[in-house]
Amino acid sequence: MEKKLKLGIIGLGTVGQGVVKVLSGMHDIEIVCVAVKNLSKKRDISVDSITDNPLDIVNNPDIDVIVEVAGGLEVFDLLKIAIRNKKHIVTANKELLARHGSELFDLARKNNVVIMYEAAVAGGIPLIYPIKTSLSANVFSEVAGILNGTTNYILTKMEEENLSYDECLLKAQQLGYAETNPKGDVEGFDAMYKIAILSNIVFNKRIDIGKIYHEGITNISSIDIKLADEFGYKIKLVAQAKKMCINQESDMLDIRVHPVLVSKNQSLADIKNATNAILLKGFPVGEVMFVGAGAGEFPTASSVVGDILTIKSEIKEKNKILPMTVCHHSEYAKQINIDDTVNCYYLRINAVNTPGTIGKIGLACGKFNINLSCILQKGVNDDRSATIIVITEECFEKDINLMIKDVEKTSEIKVLNRIRVM
């Protein structure tokens, strides 16, 4: 009779319940115990053994694999105990991996166990395993995508229903796409953790998340959405990482998260609502895109259970894990400061409607070596001020910041928003 793979699960929220439901029909896998914070909380499912002390699970000698779907950083010490106890780890915890992955992977290698984390980056989209297997022949130059469904839903509704950011955020919260405190999503933290993990895999370097520039969507208005559309763009929160050559130093990484104007001709512009999409560029594959559900009970459970089955198949066949599942690199990437990046920019400016105003903006751009692709006055407002839209050619981030500071020296001109153009 085939030996059952024995699991301990930490967390029984939306994803945890999905995992239990998917595993319910698999007779060769046994859930030994589940750890929760609140034993009295009502849930849609029941499990045979439940505890509010996760140490009961990580120290249980009968358990082969710890499935961590609780989230947060509180589980860090628990997983270290589990790894020292020679237990394999399956996790969906992107913040934990982005902040403490280096220590956990080193510890796992030392104890001959693995950490599987397909669900940590894009929910139900198969991404990490394909990169490590089917795409392993490639040298990648860039990875970019829409990695947060909450912000993409908000931006989609702002565009399609001409609603304000606050109205769309409330809708997202009512539908369960956004938390009561949405900071992690709308300020770019969630996407930052995910692009850090992806960069680690794609470029085989460890990533310092403290050096990743991140900016959310809280400053995007329906006016910006409408004006972007008129110029042939959609506004998306994009996480991206690409190889750059700065000051003759190659293989530096430009890793960041922020809103961008995406041309309607680009595939990312068509990604709507809570859908995620990840674009990879490399040789010899060229470009390849992964699209699907980036969150949710069953999409995320699909990836978690897939990792569990991968571990089971390897234990069954060889009593050891495939080498490709182990983190072998230890060198940290050289990361570019956002000030040294080169971008095109969209500027929405409010100015006193007097002769020579556009000229002043043009002179300020020229002063800092910024060429203009477009400058357009969009009529006169009720208070007799003018809305002026500027789209620049490529220039350094530090130069656009100096230009904005210079043009705002007087009270006549105010840059209300600055968005990079992809």
Report the catalytic residues: 194
Residues 150 and 182 sit within 8 Å (Cβ to Cβ) = yes
Q: What is the DSSP letter of 257?
A: E
Q: What is the token pair recorded at 37?
A: 């914070």
Structure token pair of residue 78: 């628990």
Calpha distance 270→268 (Å, rounded):
5
Q: Under 8 Å CB-to-CB from 167, ≥6 apart: which residues?
A: none
Longest dimension (CA), the chain: 87
In angstroms, the CA 329 to CA 325 distance is 12
Indicate the pairing of strand 233-246 with strand 213-214. Answer: unpaired
CA 287 to chain CA mean position, Å:
19
The string over 117-145, giving b where at least 16 C-beta atoms fall within 10 Å of a residue's C-beta and e elsewhere, is: bbbbbbbbbebbbebeeebeebebebbbb
**Nearest in space to 205 (alpha carbons), one of 243, 260, 247:** 243
CA distance 121 to 93: 9
63/311 Cα distance (integer angstroms): 13
Strand 50-51 to strand 5-10: parallel, antiparallel, or no bridges (unpaired)?
unpaired
CA dist 184 and 98 (Å) reads: 14
Left (φ > 0), alpha (ψ -120 to 50) or beta: where does 51 sit?
A: beta
For residue 284, say if its preceding peptide bond is cis, omega within 30 degrees of 0: yes
> Residue type for 285, please?
V
Measured CA to CA, the distance from residue 133 to residue 112 in angstroms comes to: 21
